[in-house]
Amino acid sequence: MSDTPTMNGAESLVHTLIDSGVDVCFTNPGTSEMHFVAALDHIPGMRSVLALQEGVATGAADGYWRMKGKPASTLLHLGPGLANGLSNLHNAKKAGSGVVNIIGEHAASHIELDAPLMSDIEGIARPVSHWVHTSKSAATVGEDAARAVQAAQVAPGQIVSLILPSDTAWNEGGVRHDPLPVPEPEVFAINLLADAAQALLGPESLLLLGGAALTEDNLHIAGQIAAKTGCKLQSEWANARMERGAGRVIVGRVPYPIDIALKVLAPFKRIVLVGARPPIGFFAYPGKPAVLTAPDAEIVPLAPAGTDLTSALEALCVATEAKETAPAHVAKADLPDRPEGPITLDSLATLIGRAIPENGIVVDESVTTGRAFFPATQGAPAHTWLNNCGGSIGYGLPAAIGAAVACPDRKVMALTGDGSAMYTVQALWSMAREDLDITVLIFANRSYQILRGELTNVGVQNPGPRAIDMLSLDRPALNWVEMSHSMGVSASRVTTCTELEDALADGLESTGPRLIEVAL
Residues 342-401 close enough to bind its own copies by CB under 8 A: 389-392, 394
Listed residue (168, 99, 159) closest to 137, CA to CA: 168
Among the residue ranges 139-147, 214-222, 421-429, 502-510, the one whose residues contact its own copies (CB under 8 A): 421-429
Q: x/- contact string, 16-35, with its own copies (CB under 8 A)? A: -----------x-xxxx-xx
Q: What is the largest CA-CA distance in the chain?
A: 71
Q: With respect to its own copies, which residue has the nearer C-beta, 307 or 420? A: 420
Among the residue ranges 62-70, 152-160, 336-344, 420-428, the one whose residues contact its own copies (CB under 8 A): 420-428
The DSSP H or E segment spanning 143 is helix 138-152
Q: With respect to its own copies, which residue has the nearer C-beta, 90 or 133? A: 90
Q: Which of 257, 357, 381, 488 binds its own copies (CB under 8 A)?
A: 488
Q: Closest approach of Cβ 323 to its own copies, in Å?
A: 35
Give the C-alpha separation, 229 to 347, whole Å. 36
Q: x/- contact string, 126-155, with its own copies (CB under 8 A)? A: xxx---------------------------
The DSSP H or E segment spanning 246 is none
Other Cβ atoms closer than 10 A to 447: 18
Q: Closest approach of Cβ 170 to its own copies, in Å?
A: 5
Q: With respect to its own copies, which residue has the nearer C-beta, 83 or 201? A: 83
Q: Closest approach of Cβ 235 to its own copies, in Å?
A: 14
* Three-state DSSP string of 443-503: EECCECHHHHHHHHHCCCCCCCHHHHHHCECCCCCCCHHHHHHHCCCEEEEECEHHHHHHH
Residue 134 has φ and ψ, to the nearest 5°, of -105, 125
Is residue 319 within the footprint of its own copies (CB under 8 A)? no
Q: Closest approach of Cβ 495 to its own copies, in Å?
A: 18
Which residues 228-287 are close enough to bind its own copies by CB under 8 A? 238, 277, 280-284, 286
Which residues 157-176 are close enough to bind its own copies by CB under 8 A? 166-167, 170
Give the C-alpha separation, 221 to 318, whole Å. 10
Which residues 53-92 are close enough to bind its own copies by CB under 8 A? 53, 55, 79-81, 83-84, 86-87, 90-91
Is residue 291 within the footprint of its own copies (CB under 8 A)? yes
Q: Which of 2, 3, 41, 323 binds its own copies (CB under 8 A)?
A: 41
Is residue 476 within the footprint of its own copies (CB under 8 A)? yes
Q: Closest approach of Cβ 399 to its own copies, in Å?
A: 15
Judged on CB neighbours under 10 Å (0-12, 13-18, 19+), 113 is exposed
Q: Which long-range contacts (CB under 8 A, 24 or more apart) does 317-322 make?
A: 317/221, 317/224, 317/225, 319/193, 319/194, 319/196, 319/197, 320/197, 320/200, 320/225, 320/228, 320/229, 321/228, 322/221, 322/224, 322/225, 322/227, 322/228, 322/229
Q: With respect to its own copies, which residue has the nearer C-beta, 106 or 177? A: 106
Q: Which of 189, 335, 473, 508 binds its own copies (CB under 8 A)?
A: 473
Give the C-alpha separation, 373 to 443, whole Å. 13
Other Cβ atoms closer than 10 A to 236: 23
Which residues 92-131 are close enough to bind its own copies by CB under 8 A? 94, 106-107, 109-110, 113-117, 119-120, 123-124, 126-128
